[in-house]
A and B are shown apart, each in its own frame.
Chain A
Amino acid sequence: MKKNKNNIIHKLTLQTIGHEKRQQYMIPVFTIVLSLIFGLIVIALLGSNPFKAYYNLLQGSGLAPKASYAGHKGMITDFTSFLNALTPMLFAALAVLIALKAGLFNIGVSGQMLAAGFTATILIGYSDLPAVVAKPLAVLIGFAVGALAGALVGWLKHRFNINEVVSTIMFNYIFQYVISFLINTFYVDPVSRQSKNVGAAGRLTLVDVVIGDYKMDIPLGILLATVGIAVTAFLLNKTILGFEIKAVGSSTRAAEYAGIRVGRTRVLAMMLSGGFAGLSGVTYYMGYFASIQPKVLVSTGYDAIAVALLGNSSPIGIIFSSFLITVISKGSTYMNSASGVQAEIASAITGIILLFSACGAYVKYKVNRWKEDN
C-alpha cells in the first residue's frame, strides 16, 4: 500500500517536473509552491487564516485592493512604493548573477552597496547641486565605487588566489564598521541616530509626487534597473566578454586553454558585479531610504544570492524571483497589521524558498533518477 502511494507521488512529480526541457522553469516553480505550502501550514498552526495572510501580502504590495486607504493613498501608491523596494533587489540580484556566471560567489553585495551608498550620500546627497546634475552623478559614483570594491576582490583572487567568499565577507565587516564610525563622527542626525537625510535633489526616488488625488513615491531607479537587466542579458549572450565570462565560469582550465585571460576576465566580472551592487546601494540608501543606519548591513545583498539562484541565474528569471521575494517582504507589514501574523513569518517563508531553491540541483537529480527507474 505504501509503495503504491509513493508511486502516485512519483508519477505526479514526474509529470510536472520530469520533462527535461521544462525543468529549468519547473523546478524553481516547484520549490516556490512547496515553500508556500510550508508557509500555509506554519500560519495555520499559529491560528491565523493562511490564505487571508497571503492575500494581505499582495495587498501590502499594491497588487490587490485593500479594504480602506488613508488620504491620498491607494493601490497605485502601494504599487509604486513596492517598485521602490524592488529596485535595489533587482540590482543586487544582477550583481550576484554576473559573478555567478564567472564562477564567483559575491557575498559582499551588501558591503559594496553600503560603500557606494555612503560615498554617493556624502558627495552628492549633502551637496547643493541641482537635481539634473546630482541624480546622474549619484548613479555614476555609486557604480564606480561598487565597481572598484568588486574589482579589488577580483584582483585579490587573481593575484594572490584569495578566495572571494572570504575576502567579500571580510570587506563587509570593514565597510560596515568604518562607515558607521564615519557616520557617527561626522554625519549623524542626533534625533534619528542615523545619517542625516540626503537632499531631494540627489534622491533617486521622487517623494510625495502629487498625481491626481494621489501622493506617490516614484522610483527613478526602476527604469535604470530595467535597462540593467537588458544590458546584462545582452552582455552575457551576445558579447565576447560575456562569452569569456561564461567560459571561465564553467571551466577555468578549458577557458585558459582556449586562450582566454582568466584573471582579467574575473576582475572584469567582479567589477561589473560590484558596479551593480553599487547601483543597488544608491537606489537603496538614496532612493528607497534617504539615510544610512550605522552598524547595520542590509539583508538585500544576501537575499539577492538566493534570488539569483531561484531565478535560474538568468537575467529574465531574476525579474520573477525578485518580484516574488519583494512581495513577501514588502507585504509582510500589512499582513502583520491586518491578520496579526508576525512579519517574521514572511522572512521565514523567504528563507524556506531560498533553502529549497538551493536544493534545486538535488531535486533535479532525484527526479531524473526516478525517471530512470520507471
Chain B
Amino acid sequence: MSDYIIEMNHITKRFPGIVANDDVSIQVKKGEIYALLGENGAGKSTLMSMLFGMYEPDEGEIIIRGEKVKIQSPNHATKLNIGMVHQHFKLVSNYTIAENIILGMEPIKKTLGLFKSVDIKKANEDILALSRKFGLEVDPTKVIEQVNVSMQQRVEILKMLYREAEILIFDEPTAVLTPQEIEFLLEIIRSLRDDGKTIILITHKLEEIKKIADRCAILCRGKLIDVLDVATTDTKTMANLMVGREVSFTVDKPEPQYGKEVLRVEHLTVCNEDKYEVVKDVSFSVREGEIFVVAGVSGNGQIELADAIAGLIKPTRGTVTLNGADITSYSIRKRNLAGISYIPEDRHNVGLVMDFTLSDNLALKNYFEEPFSRKGVIKTDEFTTYGDKLIDKYDIRSSQGNDTIVRSMSGGNQQKAIIAREIELGSSLTIFVQPTRGLDIGAIENIHKQIIGERSKGKAILLISLELDEVMNLADTIGVIYNGEIQKIADARELTPSQVGEFMMGVGGRHEKE
C-alpha cells in the first residue's frame, strides 16, 4: 500500500469546447496541506469536483486509501470521508446553524416509540461539543441569515467535521474574509492538519500557500505544470508558473497629482428596504487624479454608498455634489450624462443585460445618443463599429465577437466589457465596486493598470474593495467603513495594512484613545 491517501492518476475531463483537465495526476499524503494553485479556469475546481463526486472523469482513475474508487455523488464522497467547503456556501439561510449541520443525517428520536422526529436538542449538544473540540465556537441555535460570513464558513467546516470527514477540500476559503478572519481560518486549517486531517486548499492567493501549505500543485489551462515543495520555493516563481509568464506584483503607480474636487459627499444617509440605516452620515470628497478607496468588510454599507452616488438608491439625507453641481435629485441617466461611470458589484444582474449581445451591452450607456441612434431609430452599424473598437482596445475575448450573447462569456471578459464601456464614457468620476472579485491574477493586473491609467488621465476614482492588498496597492486616500460609518479617512501612506484591518473590524484607533 502506498503512503498516499488520495491519488488521482491521469485525469482528463472535457466540457463542450474545452478540456478542463488534461492528463492531471496528483498524489496527496495523509496529514498534509496540499494547495492547488491556478488562475480562473485553470481547472482547479473541476479537479476537486471530481474528487467530491460532482463530475465523473472522462479518463483516469481515483484511488482513495489504496483502493480504486468511482465516486458517483457527493453522498458517496461523504461516505469515503471526503468533505468540501464550496466557494459559495451551500446553507439554508432561514435554518439554524445546528439544523444546517445535521441536514441529511439528523439524529432521530421516537416519541412513544412510534413518531419519528428530529432530536434537535441532541443535535445542539453534539454540535456545541464538536465546535469546542476544534476551536470553532458557534451558537447552534442562531439562524444562518443572522450570522456573518466568517461564521457561515465555520458552519460549513463543522458540517464536514460532523460527517467525520478526513479529507477536507477548501475552495477559495479566504475570498470573503477580512485579514484578521483569514489569519484565524489559516490557524484552524493548521490545527485540523495537526489533528491528522488531510487538507486540500484551492486558491489563487500566493501568500496563503506560502504560509500554511506543505506542497503545492500548479495548474495552468487544465494542465499540471509542477508540484512544488512550498518551503523551498518563492512566491514569484509560483506566480510565474501559474500565469505562464512574468508577473509584476507591485503596481507601478506614479506620485499623485491632485486637481480640483470632483465628488463631494456630505452627511449621506441611506436606508435599506427595511428602513434600516445602512450608510450613516458619511462625508468625503474625491479629487481629480485621486484614487479614493472605501475599504471595509462585505456588508458594511459600501455597496449602498456606491449605489446612492450612482443614483440607484435614493438617500434619506445628505447631498452628493459632482463638479460643483448638486446632483442629489438627478435621475440615473442624468448622473451618467453629468459624468459618473459605475462598475457595479453585481456583474450579472446589474452591470450587464446577460441575454443581450456584446455590442448591445457595450453601447448600453449611450445607445440613445448620436451616432448610435437618431430620432429614435437605432443605427446597428454604429453599434458594430463601436463594439469592434472596444473589443480590440480592451482585448475582450468571446466566441463570436460583437454577436456573442454575454451570458456565454467568461467572468473575466464580462468584467472587461463593463470596464471598457464605463471608461469609454470619459466620465470625470468612475466608481469601481470590487472590480477584481473572483478574477485571476492576470485579469486583476490588467484591471489595476486600467484604474491607474484613468488616474493618470486626471479622473477621479472611487474604489470600493474588500481586498486589503488591493486597497494598499492602489489607494491614494483610504476611507475605512464599518457598520455604515466612515471610521477613518487618511492618506494611504500614513496607514499600515494591519491598521486598516483593525478599522475594518471596527476596533481601529483604540490604542490611540487609551
Contacts and interface: CB of A to CB of B under 8 A. Distances in A.
A243 B383 CA distance: 12
B211 interface: no
Contacts of B333: 259-261
Given A243-B378, A259-B365, A254 B332 contact: no
A94 B96 CA distance: 49
A159 interface: no
Given A240-B373, A253-B349, A258 B354 contact: no
Nearest to B379: A238
A238 B353 contact: no
A238 B364 contact: no
Contacts of A240: 367-368, 373, 376-378
Contact of B344 (A238, A246, A257, A260): A257
B113 interface: no
Contacts of B124: none
B336 interface: yes
A247 B376 contact: no
A261 B377 contact: no
B350 interface: yes
A75 B334 CA distance: 60
Contact of B349 (A238, A241, A251, A261): A251
A241 B375 CA distance: 11
A241 B373 CA distance: 11
Interface string B446-483: 00000000000000000000000000000000000000
B327 to A, nearest CB: 13
A239 interface: yes
A19 to B, nearest CB: 13
Contacts of B351: 254, 257
A295 interface: no
Interface string B337-365: 00000101010011111111000100011
B507 interface: no
B15 interface: yes
A239 B378 CA distance: 5
B11 to A, nearest CB: 18
Nearest to B334: A259
Given A254-B351, A261-B331, A372 B377 contact: no
Contact of A243 (B312, B334, B355, B360): B360
Contacts of A251: 349, 352-355
Chain A interface residue bracket vs B: 20 to 34
Given A250-B353, A253-B350, A258 B364 contact: yes
A253 B313 CA distance: 12
Contacts of B380: 238
Contact of A239 (B336, B356, B376): B376
Given A243-B378, A251-B354, A259 B367 contact: no
Contacts of A243: 360, 367, 378
B16 interface: yes
A250 B354 contact: yes
B349, B360, B364, B380 pick with most chain A CB within 10 angstroms? B364
Interface residues of B, number: 31
A247 B354 contact: no
A10 interface: no
Contacts of B377: 238-240
A259 B355 contact: no
Contacts of A237: 378
A157 interface: no
B367 A257 contact: no
Interface in A111-140: none
B332 A257 contact: yes
A42 B160 CA distance: 54
A237 to B, nearest CB: 8
Contacts of A206: none
A208 to B, nearest CB: 43
Contact of B365 (A238, A256, A258, A372): A258
A242 B368 CA distance: 11
Contact of B356 (A247, A253, A260): A247
Nearest to A254: B353
Given A243-B378, A372-B16, A257 B356 contact: no
Interface in A211-249: 237-243, 246-247
Interface in B347-405: 349-356, 360, 364-365, 367-368, 373, 376-378, 380
Nearest to A260: B333
Nearest to B374: A240
Contacts of B342: 257
Contacts of B335: 259
A242 B335 CA distance: 23
A250 B336 CA distance: 21
CB-based closest 5 A-B pairs: A259-B333, A259-B332, A250-B355, A258-B364, A254-B353
23 contacts: A238-B377, A238-B378, A239-B373, A239-B377, A239-B378, A241-B376, A243-B367, A243-B378, A246-B356, A247-B364, A250-B353, A250-B355, A251-B352, A253-B346, A256-B312, A256-B332, A257-B310, A258-B353, A258-B365, A259-B332, A259-B335, A259-B336, A259-B365
Given A250-B355, A257-B342, 14 more contacts: A238-B380, A239-B376, A240-B377, A246-B356, A250-B356, A251-B352, A254-B350, A254-B352, A256-B312, A256-B332, A258-B364, A259-B331, A259-B335, A260-B333
Interface of B: 15-16, 310, 312, 331-336, 342, 344, 346, 349-356, 360, 364-365, 367-368, 373, 376-378, 380
